[in-house]
Structure 1
Amino acid sequence: MSAAPAPPPPAPDPVAELHRSGSLAAEYPRLPALLRDLGEDERQRAGRLLSRLSPDEVLAGNPGIPTVSVAVTGHGTVAGIVPPLTMELARHGMLLRPHVADFGGWLFDLADPASEVYAAGTDLVVCLLAAGIVFDEVPRPWRPEDVERVLAEKVHLLDKLAATHGASGSGTLVYTTMPLPREFTAQVVDHRSRARLGAVWREGNARLLGLMDDHPGLVVLDLDPVLSGPAALAEARLATYAGTPFAADLTAAVAREVAHLARGRSGRAKKVLAVDLDNTLWGGVLGDDGPEGIEVADGRTGRAFRRMQQAVKQLASRGVLVAAVSKNDVEPVREVLREHPGMTLREDDFVRVVANWAPKHDNLRALADDLNLGLDSFVFADDSAYECGLVARELPAVTVLHLDGDPALHAERLLADDWFGVRDLTDDDVRRPGRYREELVRKDFLDSFSSLDDYLRELDVRVELTAAAEADMPRLAQLTQRTNQFNLTTRRLQQDEVGALAGSPGNLVLAIRSGDRFGDNGLVGAVFVRTDGPVWHIDNFLLSCRVFARGIEQGCLAALLEHARAERAEAVAARYVPSPKNGKVRDFYPRNGFDAHGHTEDGTADFRHDLRQIDAVPAHLGLTMRWEREGTR
């Protein structure tokens, strides 16, 4: 009897190979692609290896890597979050610079503005909360009423700590909700008391989640949805002997959520979902099966595709730009989207329907040009391994989701990494898909003119440049976080930081709104100016990519310079800080009359305008200004 063939050797772990060769720090930019194809065990091992790297060593060879500074505190031992958080940030092309607080020191860390957590000047302060902060202080024996009292005290304390951080700290404070372990519910033997305890606990977590309404710099991560997956709450021995409040799987899941938050905060949230149609949004192949033969809503697999369509429609309603990219003839596709009775998604849910036989990576490039967005803003979802592999190879900046296998899992896979997540959603976000559809109509309108000047005259561009009102703060903060191309310094601000600047003497925060013959673009830009001296300083100037090249930026800058001269300023200074995406505006200030006034080796450049000769506002622009905040007269 012949011997069974030897099993194939395991596939090499590329991250481990880089570690063994000593080149992990130097090759850090390759990690998003390498980690994408690793299994969960390999990713955990990668996290342990990456957490041993010195951030300074990585930055020495890769100075352009975005770095996220995170302080971690909480109830018990919290250092376990560092390896998975390091790995998750590396997946998104970012580098972690961690600060881990002492065991159980969360109260001191957050209450004292002189603590190491505040001194670290972090982007994120993550406070891992657990049931122990309540049950460590209830009497023994305890009743649900005792838990209710202590829990209310703790939520009130967390409210005060959030206010302290808002006044004295930097960046975003992150709380977790507190899951209730079965260990405590089982200690009350009657079901009536268990129900009472569950109600008390849920009410406390609801109040904790509600603190976000009062503190713009606070995010509360709800762990209930995380625990609905495979993550266990705690491991009894680690909780008892090491004071580790969360099991490894839950810690990894929390790290994933924190990384998503850091990605959105740094302006790297995705904006476009480009999705295939055949066997992705409906079952079957339209060209072969016809409109009557595809599975849309009925039957077992039809229900799976309806679930996927419902998820995509919900994303579109929350400001995600959804585009169809399909190898099909366009008219049958439009017929299905308009007329098929089982479709949840309709043509108006898409900013663009691209159906042709060109390679999908070419269609994605063209779509990015039409939308004036970078390819790194795109998520591409397709059931075909071939199409996914080709797009990943040709367009490495695009995030590729291979939705293979059972369509009942399509929606879960699409949503798993919260690619489009942001801290706050504004009215402008909700209106974004409609405005981009209008923008594509503008592009078609432009194509009908022989010159850009003729087009701009007919477009009837209207601009308002006004001192920012209180209601503008969420959108202005979001613009600083999400605008990358026309962003002169890429300084990211939270809502409370924008509000503090707008409300302080010697600062002028200007909001830019625009509209034209095709509709209202909303709040599309901002200018941050320090006016507390003879030389005014433009700390940042930013504008949505939706409204480039219409003279809006030149008109607003000219109006600001005229205002500075009228207020008897001697000059206006400005700075350009380079980033991987804002190279197209490096010459914005010199093109508008500013003189060079020094530069550094990293490309940062200072400019100055003496206010003697100011360019005119473009003639095609209808510009109105208001320099004082409403209600300040």
Structure 2
Amino acid sequence: MTTSDTPSAAPAAPAAPPVTASADARAQDRLRALHRAGQLAERYPEVEALLADLPAERLPQAGQLLSRVDADEVLRHHPRTPVVGVAVTGHGTLAPLVPALTAETARHGMLLRPYVADFGGYVFDLSDPSRPLHAAGADLVLCVLDPMAVLDELPTPWQVADVERTLEEKVRLWDGLVGRFRAESPATLVLNTLPLPRRFTAQLVDHRSRAVLGAAWREANARLLRLAEAHPSLVVLDLDPLIADGGPASETRLSLYAKSHLSAGLLAAYAREIGHLARHLAGRTKKALALDLDGTLWGGVLGEDGPEGIEVGDGYRGEAFQEFQRTVRQLGSQGVLLTAVSKNDLEPVRKVLADHPGMVLREEDFVRVTANWRPKPDNIRETAEVLNLGTDSFVFLDDSPYECGLVRRELPEVATVRLDEEPAEHLERLLRDSWFGVREVTAEDRSRPSRYRDESARGDFLRSFDSLDDYLRELGVHVRLARMERADVGRVAQLTLRTNQFNLTTVRLQPAEVEALADDPDALVLTVRSGDRFGDNGLVGALLLRRDGDVCRVENMLLSCRVFARGIEQTCMATVLRRARKAGFRAVEGRYRETAKNGGVREFYPECGFGRADGGGADAGGGAELAFRHDLADVPAPPDHVSLTLALNGGLL
């Protein structure tokens, strides 16, 4: 996957108008006009905002237009556009999946490079490294399974025992294929569960046999889902929740005549889930949810109706707002940073959060509550600054078309979700794009909100000092630099996927790749933990090192944005330099690969005493790639306000 983040040389996308009943029609007309004029490649940065206004059922049509655009032509105009390579294989006909995938990646600001394997060849595609699928070099490999992969092999007539036997054989086959594929490819492999068509269950005339068949089928799907526990680079999508949202799982005529065994609607929903996964692998997962209050968390207007008059808890609408709050709180419990951005006076808001009996969310559930009469884009910017996050980390929810339009215009990088007057629909609008989806929720994720609340306290503490040096001395920063333990693999992989600002190369790694580094005798993965007088920050960074003769190479260094500028990064690099000299290395070398978001660390190596080295140039995404070298003759001392604990346990250093 191309490691750049967002277009920088591209012209700014025009502001989307406030969402109205005709906004989707205007967006569709604009896409058609760009297509007719041959300007879709040139104006590609506009596409993300246009697709945001299209309902899900119209996205495949947009994908038909976008799939005709030459990806290389887009990159010629906008070389920083993130590219995701997706290879598709499976049992049935899958070419119709490409337009849906094209639209879903485009609506998240990415560009699709698809490869579709030959019909029905998934067993050979996954097991044989000489097949074109492996040569495609995809980031994601989709092996789309369908029920006919099992049912086509039944005898005529068949019994439930025949299905059970075939299911057992297939699950064993798929397990083996995953293992062989993982040994040959670093790509993320995606399988899916199998829907059970009624046209087969109905062929059994007794309900007892239907029940036994249903149990066997679900047990096989459960085993499929559990394959991901044994294979870290595997994702298994459960199709049942997608089918439950409506529409048939298959269409008999298309299944029989075209061998397209999953319906167009189900493939479109599947593509949406793949778009979410691709967004995460590209490091574009959101971190913070900025919530309006009036009309969003409760019904009515607090300033006009008073605490007693708002709708939450009582009545059918109040219960709908309460259920929405439960969902928001559930997200917060998994590491999503909840913030409130409201046009209200602060004290009445705090009183409702503290005392209203219908409220599920309380002030302590939020990392920051902002209630004033300033423009909401300004408040989102300020919240991002206080939390040390980029505004592109935010999702904004509001029921006001005006406020949503304003945020879209002023902060197009914020994912803006417009709610309407029906609170029962709030849940679906929040959840349908899985903005905060990750491969695995870690202990670090669950503790993140409390640490960001500490971050807000640090900001207040900083404002009480006349100088940054005085603040840092009183902050009491401590760092633990240690060899990575097995329990940290998921968190380190997550840092490579989600960290954009302090990420020297923006190379994304899956857990299996991090494990491989840990097992390599010529490599060393160091974890960085930090804390201070306000609490423990947890695992906030990593250094990936490799021996190359008498040179120690820094393959990457990552640090969470919430601990920038406290001397942690300088302490870690100074320690690596000192330990490398002690271990007998002649030099330490590293590279910086420029992206749209990591410009703030461009001078990190020079500030640590490194000089420029030969071997720089431009990376595949068009950004600068700079090489640096430190000869270890004059190693800088770490900042004196940081205390350091080492736990390296041998190895490279």
**TM-score for the superposition, normalised by structure 1:** 0.97
Q: Which amino acid aligns with 2:131?
A: S
Q: Of 78, 82, 85, which residue of structure 2 is paired with 1:62?
A: 78
Structure 1 range deviating more: 161-170 or 482-491: 161-170
1:49 pairs with one of 34, 41, 65: 65
| Alignment check: 8 A CA contact 1:265 1:423 kept | no
Pick aligned residue for 1:523 from 529, 539, 561: 539
Q: Structure 1 residue aligned with 2:584, among 556, 568, 578? A: 568
**Superposition map of 1:175-324 within 5 A:** 175-324=191-340
What is the aligned length? 624
1:496 CA displacement: 0.5
The alpha-carbon deviation at position 540 of structure 1 amounts to: 0.4
Cross-structure match for 1:4: none
Q: 631, 634, 637: which one pairs with 1:610? A: 631
Alignment of 1:326-405 (within 5 A): 326-405=342-421
For residues 133-175 of structure 1, the C-alpha deviation after alignment (integer angstroms, 9 at most, x for no partner) is: 1112223222222212211221122111111222211220000
Q: Cα deviations across residues 392-412 of structure 1 (Å, max 9, x unaligned)?
A: 111111111110131100111
8 A contact 1:122–1:170 mirrored in 2: no
Kept in 1, the 8 Å contact 2:481–2:529? The answer is yes
Task: Identify the residue that residue 108 of structure 1 maps to in structure 2.
Answer: 124
Asked if the contact 1:322–1:349 (Cα under 8 Å) also holds between the matched residues in 2, the reply is: yes
CA contact (8 A) 2:287 2:436 kept: yes
Alignment of 1:592-603 (within 5 A): 592-598=608-614, 599-601=616-618, 602-603=623-624
Q: Displacement, 1:40? A: 4.2
Deviation for aligned residue 1:356: 0.8
Alpha-carbon deviation of 1:436? 0.3
Q: 1:394/1:223 Cα in 2 relative to 1: closer, same or farther (>3 Å)?
A: same
Q: Percent identity?
A: 59
In 2, Cα distance between equivalents of 1:62 and 1:212: 36
Further displaced range: 482-491 or 237-246? 237-246
Moved more, 272-281 or 40-49: 40-49
Q: Which residue of 1 aligns with 2:4?
A: none
1:98 and 2:119 aligned = no
How do 1:135-154 and structure 2 match up within 5 A?
A: 135-154=151-170
Amino acid in the other structure paired with 2:642:
L
What letter matches 2:628 in structure 1?
Answer: F
Does the residue aligned with 1:466 lie in a helix, a strand or coil? Answer: strand
Q: Distance in 2 between matches of 1:414 and 1:384?
A: 15
1:481·1:493 contact (CA, 8 Å) conserved in 2? yes
Q: Which amino acid aligns with 1:626?
A: A
* Matched residue, 1:442: 458
- Kept after mapping to 2: 8 A contact 1:530/1:539: yes
Alignment of 1:486-501 (within 5 A): 486-501=502-517
Aligned residue identity for 2:480: E
The residue correspondences of 1:123-162 to structure 2 (distance < 5 A) are: 123-162=139-178
Q: Distance in 1 between matches of 2:186 and 2:378?
A: 43
Q: Which amino acid aligns with 2:418?
A: H
Aligned to 1:3: none
Give the gaps of 5 or more residues in structure 2. Answer: 1-21
Q: Please give the TM-score of this superposition, normalised by the length of structure 2.
A: 0.94
Amino acid at match of 1:315: L
Q: Tell me how far 1:44 sits from its aligned partner.
A: 2.1
Alpha-carbon separation, structure 2, partners of 1:168 and 1:380: 41
Specify the SS of the correspondent of 1:200.
Answer: helix
Query: Distance between the aligned counterparts of 1:142 and 1:344, measured in 2?
Result: 53
Q: Secondary structure at the match of 1:604?
A: strand
Q: Specify the code of the residue in structure 2 equivalent to 1:147.
A: V
Check whether the contact 1:118–1:170 (CA below 8 A) recurs between aligned residues.
no
Aligned to 1:169: 185
- Asked if 1:467 is matched to 2:454, the reply is no
2:445 equivalent to 1:429: yes
Secondary structure at the residue paired with 1:147?
Answer: helix
**3-state SS, counterpart of residue 420 of structure 2:** coil
Partner of 2:538: helix, strand, or coil?
Answer: strand
CA–CA distance in structure 2, aligned partners of residues 181 and 260 of structure 1: 27
Write out aligned runs for 1:473-492 (5 A): 473-492=489-508
1:550-589 equivalence runs, <5 A = 550-589=566-605
| Bigger mean CA offset, 566-575 vs 140-149 | 140-149
Q: For residue 600 of structure 1, what is the amino acid of its counterpart?
A: G
Shift of 1:41: 5.1
Tell me the equivalent position of 1:625.
646
Deviations 1:549-599 (A, max 9, x none): 010000000100111111111111100001110000011001110000133
Matching residue's letter, 1:457: R
CA distance, structure 1, for counterparts of residue 279 and residue 261 of structure 2: 26
Cα offset for 1:447? Answer: 0.9
Matched residues in 1 for 2:249 and 2:239: separation?
10
For structure 1, which segment, 226-235 or 405-414, has the greater mean C-alpha deviation from structure 2 after superposition? 226-235
Amino acid of the residue matched to residue 16 of structure 1? R
**C-alpha distance in structure 1 between counterparts of 2:460 and 2:161, whole Å:** 66
Q: Contact 1:575–1:604 at 8 Å: present in 2 too?
A: yes
- d(CA) in 2 for partners of 1:214, 1:90: 32
The one-letter code sitting in structure 2 at the alignment partner of 1:420 is F
Please name the residue that 1:75 is paired with.
Answer: 91
